[in-house]
Structure 1
Amino acid sequence: MDVRDFLRTVRRSWWVVLLSVMVGLAVAALVTVRTAPRYAASVSFFVTTPNQGVTDAYQGNVFMQQRVKSYADLLQSDRLAQKVVGKTALGLTAEEVQARVSAAAIPDTVLLRGTVTDTDATRALRLTEAITAQFIELVKEVETSGEGRPAPVKVEVISGPRVGSSPVSPNPARNLALGALGGLLAGIGLALLRTRLDTRLRDSVTLQRATGSPLLGEIPFDAAARTAPLIVGDAATTPRAEAVRKLRTNLRFVDVHEPARVIAVTSALQGEGKTTLSCNLAIALAEAGWRVALVDADLRRPKVAEYLGMEAGVGLTDVLLGDVNVGDVVQRWGDKSLLVLPAGSVPPNPSELLGSKAMADLLLVLRESADIVVIDTAPLRTVTDGVVVAVQADGALMVSRYGRTDRGQVGAAAQALQAVSVRLLGCVLNMAKLGRAETYQYESYRVDVPAGPAAAPPSHMDTAPAARGGGFPGPEQTIPDPTQELTRLPR
């Protein structure tokens, strides 16, 4: 993970980091409030050698610096604590006295500093005074030889004892800063862990790796798509519609030498938006002038007719059973060169019906009657219908939903297609988050299109297919009547 991935991960889980910082501040504030204030009393000692001549001044100074380090331990010793408890009535035990005393030798000097901390400022001062007196006496006892010679060192008080008027702990500013820092580090750690454990698709790079195919489109999330799923009317000028047009353009150039005329649109799981994308892709292709046939081959949960507002009673199932002619049930949508074949009734054996010879014959007829055939199929991880249809198509388009589909499920779906040698044209990340920069760029170049079925095509739409060339075959300039263009299937 490089710096850019790290920053992207933290930004994606910003609420985790923010919540952790708030928890850290709350814990620090609680600890600060519940901690009793402690006061510090201090005293400084000067250690020297009496009657020291100038000749041995340097040696004596080095001797005393080494001695001071030992006196620091002596100031915190059990022996001194016992003497203080025996001489002073403070209501403390020797262990409690030791716990309140700290000592430090100032480097490269003969100064020794002692500090006593207590929740009671008066008691801290009294204890410091007692320790000062008993420490000087204890040094004399330790340093005096058995022959009655005077001690070779002398300890004098040069500062204190005195106690501060303000408590030394707790320190609110320091505690809150440490709490915020701890919360920040914990939040970043949780964000990284969350990213590692979260296997759902969060970016297009992961989707490409999972499917092993190029990214052909990234459809942004649009809350209005729940009530207006099609890119017509006011929705024709949204970033979602522009993304579908970009998908249309990318799909044309997947392989210019071997263009895909029959495209199966599928997904790994249900609810990833494949049907909506199939309808919108067919509409976008028809807007560019191609003759498009949209087939609802999801015979278990058909939705194409519902989205397009068409009659769904008779359709693909009835054609495959030989009950009706395809030319009698195919319907033209609006004033565009878009022919729609609904699913019809739900059969008891969808997989067998979709893999039958009648389905193969139907695709041959549609291939001759339309420039491009878009087939909406069932999810690959749920049933085998999608694989059965994709085998008969020129290629498949994998649709995955941002933040919902597991990359392992997408990979398994792609492997299911590869196992039967299905050509995976590419993948589409649906309902993705659109960055601010992309939104700004789109709004800057947006062209408003009048609403209504008779509205003129937007100015940013692809130019006429016949003048461009590319992966798709050139469309006819006139739209034939479906009943005349589509032949009757053998029964």
Structure 2
Amino acid sequence: MDLRTHLAVVRQRWWLVLATVMVGLGAAGLVTVRTEPLYTSSVTFFVTTQSQGVTDAYQGGLFLQQRVKSYADLLTSDRLAQSIVADGPVGLTADEVQARITARVEANTVLLRATVTDSDQARSLRLTESVASHFVSLVQRLETPPGAQEPPVKIETVSGPRVSADPVSPRPARNLAVGGVLGLLLGIALCVLRGLIDNTVRDGATLQQLTGSPLLGQIPWDVEALTAPLIVGTASHSSRAEAMRKLRTNLRFVDVHESARVIAVTSSVQGEGKTTLSCNLAISLAEAGWQVLLVDADLRRPKIAQYLGLEAGIGLTDVLIGEVEVADVVQPWGDKSLLVLPGGSMPPNPSELLGSKGMADLLRALRDSADIVIVDTAPLLAVTDAAVVAVQTDGVLLATRHGKTTRAQVATATEALEAVSARVLGCVLNMAKVARSDNYQYEMYRTLVADPPPAEPIPAAPAAEQVDWPVATGAGTAPAGGHEDELGPLREDPRTVGATPTQELSRIPR
């Protein structure tokens, strides 16, 4: 994966980065609140010696720079801490006092700074004052040679003692900044890691490569589809409905030499939206003026009748076992040229029924009674039903869910279709993540079409110039509501010209 791919992965999982940043900020805030505030007080010493002349001053300076390093260790020694505790009660032991004192030598100088850090501001100042007095006395005792009255080294306090007005720890701004940055880095790392180990299908190019078939459509994710899966009513103007129309158009150009009139719709596993895809594809074809027959061949989990609000008690199963005639159980749906054959009762042997001669004869008969037959089948990897039906149809549409179906599952499903020599018309990426700019452009275009600017009135032609144009009739005329530029001239059957969906039931073989 290159840098651009990594950025795309992070952009797709922005919520994960946001979550880790919030966790980092929360952890930093919690640490800040629970951390006891600390105050510091400091004092600065100047170390000098008596010198005679420039040479002695230079040598004395070198001596003091070496000496002051030892004084830094003396400030943090237990001897100084013990003398402070012995001088008066401070509420601390010698070890606790020693742990609170730090010393630092200013580089290339003879300045020595002592700092006391404590949770009590007043005690920090008292300890610093004790350090200042006891340290000077301790150095004088140690540096005074036997028999002498004054030591060769002199220490003076040049700054302090003074205590900080605000606590030096915790620092909320710094802690929150560090927590936010660490959360951001962690989120990016998790996104990249998840992208590296993610083996699901997330783009059409990958799906095409796995199936070796053209990508006929990408159906965008729509939260409203959870409660209203069909592209009817207000949903017919959504980007999801427009994607179904693109799929309808692409089906025409799959193979111009060998048309597919009986199309099976399947998927690799459950939950990929194949049944919803079958219903919406049938509705879209019917809207274009095609006579469509939707067959529910998922006999283990028939759902089409439930989606379309039809009677589900009798259907394909009852036809195949010879209890009813197909014309008696086919139901019209809506005001479109759409007929539905539900799944019917659940049989104990679905695979045997779907692979029987009766199923093959039924599909041949249905091919002659409708322009397009859409067959919803079971998932390929769960059972063999879909592969059995696929070999009896003109082609198969393979639905794959974005971000859920793995590459291995798609490859295995493709191999299952190839094993029975089924013709794969193409693949559809379902519930795909579509860029916001694409949805915005579609909504803008739809708004402009729905509310066009007012047109200027055109003056009527004189009566002498009016011409009565003949009405086009015949096989080349598209029915009302059809799109001839999209689907081409629709086949006109004299038995169905002007027929209603109920009258078209007479075309279904008995």
Same fold per superposition (TM over 0.5): yes
**Counterpart of 1:472?**
none
Per the alignment, do residues 171 and 336 of structure 1 end up closer, same or farther by CA in structure 2, a change over 3 Å counting? closer
Per the alignment, do residues 386 and 179 of structure 1 end up closer, same or farther by CA in structure 2, a change over 3 Å counting? same
Aligned equivalents of 1:229 and 1:70: distance in 2? 82
Q: How does 1:138-157 map to 2 (within 5 A)?
A: 138-143=138-143, 153-157=153-157
Secondary structure (helix, strand or coil) at the match of 1:300 reads coil
Per the alignment, do residues 47 and 424 of structure 1 end up closer, same or farther by CA in structure 2, a change over 3 Å counting? farther
Secondary structure (helix, strand or coil) at the match of 1:83 reads helix
Per the alignment, do residues 169 and 389 of structure 1 end up closer, same or farther by CA in structure 2, a change over 3 Å counting? same
CA deviations over 1:94-136 (Å, ceiling 9, x no partner): 2111111011111232221111122233322232222223323
Aligned equivalents of 1:70 and 1:483: distance in 2? 107
Query: Sequence identity, in percent?
Result: 64
TM-score (norm 1): 0.81
**Counterpart of 2:350?**
350
Per the alignment, do residues 36 and 227 of structure 1 end up closer, same or farther by CA in structure 2, a change over 3 Å counting? closer
Aligned residue type for 2:284: A
Aligned equivalents of 2:126 and 2:336: distance in 1? 98
CA deviations over 1:388-429 (Å, ceiling 9, x no partner): 112333332222344555555445434433443434333323
Q: How does 1:431-470 map to 2 (within 5 A)?
A: 431-446=431-446, 447-448=449-450, 457=481, 463=485, 465-466=487-488
1:288–1:463 Cα contact (<8 Å) kept: no
Secondary structure (helix, strand or coil) at the match of 1:108 reads coil
Per the alignment, do residues 129 and 306 of structure 1 end up closer, same or farther by CA in structure 2, a change over 3 Å counting? closer
Q: How does 1:36-435 map to 2 (within 5 A)?
A: 36-51=36-51, 53-55=53-55, 57-58=57-58, 60-143=60-143, 153-189=153-189, 204=204, 213-225=213-225, 228-256=228-256, 259-310=259-310, 312=312, 314-322=314-322, 326=326, 330=330, 336-402=336-402, 405=405, 408-435=408-435
CA deviations over 1:328-358 (Å, ceiling 9, x no partner): 6555655655454433443321101111223
Aligned residue type for 2:124: A
1:264–1:374 Cα contact (<8 Å) kept: yes
Aligned equivalents of 1:21 and 1:400: distance in 2? 33
Per the alignment, do residues 49 and 260 of structure 1 end up closer, same or farther by CA in structure 2, a change over 3 Å counting? farther
Shift in Å, 1:448: 4.5
2:81–2:95 Cα contact (<8 Å) kept: yes
1:290–1:465 Cα contact (<8 Å) kept: no
Per the alignment, do residues 99 and 228 of structure 1 end up closer, same or farther by CA in structure 2, a change over 3 Å counting? closer
Secondary structure (helix, strand or coil) at the match of 1:79 reads helix
Per the alignment, do residues 175 and 249 of structure 1 end up closer, same or farther by CA in structure 2, a change over 3 Å counting? same
Aligned equivalents of 2:355 and 2:175: distance in 1? 70
Aligned residue type for 1:241: A
1:47–1:64 Cα contact (<8 Å) kept: yes
Q: Indicate the RMSD between aligned Cα atoms, in angstroms.
A: 3.8
Secondary structure (helix, strand or coil) at the match of 1:440 reads helix
2:20–2:187 Cα contact (<8 Å) kept: yes
Shift in Å, 1:82: 2.8
Q: In terms of mean alpha carbon deviation, does 345-354 or 4-13 score higher?
A: 4-13
Aligned residue type for 1:296: D
Secondary structure (helix, strand or coil) at the match of 2:383 reads coil
Aligned equivalents of 2:182 and 2:78: distance in 1? 37
TM-score (norm 2): 0.78
1:88–1:130 Cα contact (<8 Å) kept: no
User: Is 1:476 paired with 2:491?
Assistant: yes
Secondary structure (helix, strand or coil) at the match of 2:488 reads helix
Aligned residue type for 2:487: P
2:377–2:385 Cα contact (<8 Å) kept: yes
Per the alignment, do residues 285 and 181 of structure 1 end up closer, same or farther by CA in structure 2, a change over 3 Å counting? same
Secondary structure (helix, strand or coil) at the match of 2:430 reads strand
**Counterpart of 2:470?**
none
Q: In terms of mean alpha carbon deviation, does 146-155 or 16-25 score higher?
A: 146-155
Aligned residue type for 1:38: L
2:267–2:400 Cα contact (<8 Å) kept: yes
Structure 2: state its 5+ residue gaps: 452-478, 497-503
Aligned pairs, how many?
Answer: 474
Aligned equivalents of 1:33 and 1:350: distance in 2? 65
CA deviations over 1:294-313 (Å, ceiling 9, x no partner): 32211223233444455555
